[in-house]
Structure 1
């Protein structure tokens, strides 16, 4: 079998470093996905193998150009997403995802969707008043919703940002925590605060919270209210009861948007209690104006080990 050879000339040393990755991890990943051999000599990438292997590798490296062209870090998930897009004819979606900058953190980090299902989730939130996102830990469910919510608030699209989650113990007991009720529930709301601090400094957040522009509160505080002109994020929704979920969804007011996130496999409810998120998925799946997005272990964007942990648990529990 004749061996093919192609070369790609990279524009700078920074581009070569970005494409190569630490300890050549990116080149190793591309080799695993395509079977081709890659050798980087200065700013020249040599690709060798069968014609099919070389062509696929060439296209994959070109698909990653928005990263390496500017010396941006390339993660394993970026390579796998690009490969999936090429294999499933979703190149246009990949390009749109790569070009769409959602936000910049206070540290200057650019926030974009990292996988195609994440991109579809973002599009769903932008085009639906109510979006459910179901998936395991580390897939960016809450973080991406917070990014979109903060940007919408800063662009004056909504008057308020409301973030809520049920205060359900995950093996711990609230009664043993020190302080009053607010102090006891604060640890449950910490992940929501963390998402806000990525984009707004604490002093400004405190000011916005004092004025009621930003509200982070347990689910029980939503009862009896109408949430109008607000972007509402419901986190850890698998820990709601069916009655709580119905109560929450019927709070949605005019000119508002709601995103409900959770992982049905991680409920902390009593064994005999059905998750409100699971019930809502069955009842509302075909209701017009509501979007359901599902993320999997392939969409985990934390440490690579997290994805393998989630996948291992999924195999064990199936």
Structure 2
């Protein structure tokens, strides 16, 4: 039936058990979709009736069908999955030639020991593809866009599949308010707080006992950037996180560690440089010097790609606009 621009779409879902999972506890998944699109979704047995403007109703239908298909494949549906479907639907309309090499409908999945990871935005999708296709890749953009998380997931996946023999994760131990020398404990105790986000990512992808064994056997290493000097990193998946806090000399040192059979990923946020005033960020230098070299990919993220709390994207936008005004 139709009233003005309002329409009703009726979707049938043959498996009632999967439909219950699709709706979510207390229909919270339906509520999320309703709030996002301004539609009303009513359940009638194994049918869902969607009321709203034609465009919103069509988008809700597309999202619901995609989520139900996930359930048929034995996957879960949570808020993150709903968010991904909306972002991918939006990205399909604005995808540029960079992403045309793999269509917006293609699925990219990263299998780890503990979970299956899927990019939530077109920029994340292009980034993950570039990590598999290039020996050296850069991920540049604001916090919360998944740069490091996805890189570590790809590293774990490549290790599991036998493409690399070890995973090496590094960060510059840049002092931001506290001096390392004044912190209690030995050197490991002093630098571990800087490395914690890398530990967190690994714990998401590998069982605790396996991770502990791999670290003991040195097939997983987490170390400050300064510890990379003098090494050649062969047959390894190497991630340099927070690269905006590496100096130009440190960046050159790190990039020239790349050895045979290795992959290297550099991630950073140009708006969060903690280096002393007047010290050039090595990430900026790398962009300037390497952007035209074949086989090196540069992938950029914006506030649209933030997958943390929705307020984070708005906070980043506010700071970006203030910086532009200044």
How much has 1:85 moved relative to structure 2? 3.9
Which residue in 2 is equivalent to 1:313?
319
Which residue in 2 is equivalent to 1:62?
65
Distance, in Å, in 2 between the alignment partners of 1:42 and 1:195 is 41
Distance, in Å, in 2 between the alignment partners of 1:125 and 1:282 is 20
Identify which range, 218-227 or 11-20, moves more after superposition: 11-20
TM-score by length of 2: 0.85
Identify which range, 32-41 or 278-287, moves more after superposition: 32-41
Distance, in Å, in 1 between the alignment partners of 2:103 and 2:30 is 24
- Correspondence for 1:244 among 250, 257, 263: 250
Q: Do the aligned partners of 1:241 and 1:275 also contact (CA within 8 Å) in 2? A: yes
Query: Following superposition of structure 1 onto structure 2, how do residues 1-318 of structure 1 map, counting pairs within 5 Å?
Result: 1=4, 3-12=6-15, 15-20=18-23, 26-27=29-30, 30-31=33-34, 34=37, 36-67=39-70, 69=72, 72-75=77-80, 76-88=82-94, 93-97=103-107, 100-104=108-112, 106=114, 109-318=115-324
Task: State the SS of the aligned residue for 2:271.
Answer: helix
Distance, in Å, in 1 between the alignment partners of 2:208 and 2:57 is 50
Distance, in Å, in 2 between the alignment partners of 1:188 and 1:159 is 25
TM-score by length of 1: 0.87
Identify which range, 163-172 or 193-202, moves more after superposition: 193-202
Q: Do the aligned partners of 1:189 and 1:216 also contact (CA within 8 Å) in 2? A: yes
* Residue segments in structure 1 that go unaligned for 5+ positions in a row: none
> What's the RMSD between the two structures over aligned residues?
2.7
How much has 1:19 moved relative to structure 2? 4.3
Q: Do the aligned partners of 1:153 and 1:159 also contact (CA within 8 Å) in 2? A: yes
Task: State the SS of the aligned residue for 1:170.
Answer: coil
CA distances 1:252-272 after superposition (whole Å, capped 9, x unpaired): 111111000111111111122
* Residue segments in structure 2 that go unaligned for 5+ positions in a row: none
CA distances 1:129-185 after superposition (whole Å, capped 9, x unpaired): 000001111211111111111121122211221111110012222122112222211
How much has 1:66 moved relative to structure 2? 3.0
Q: Do the aligned partners of 1:18 and 1:73 also contact (CA within 8 Å) in 2? A: no
CA distances 1:193-246 after superposition (whole Å, capped 9, x unpaired): 222222333443333233332221111111122111111110110100111111
How much has 1:80 moved relative to structure 2? 2.5
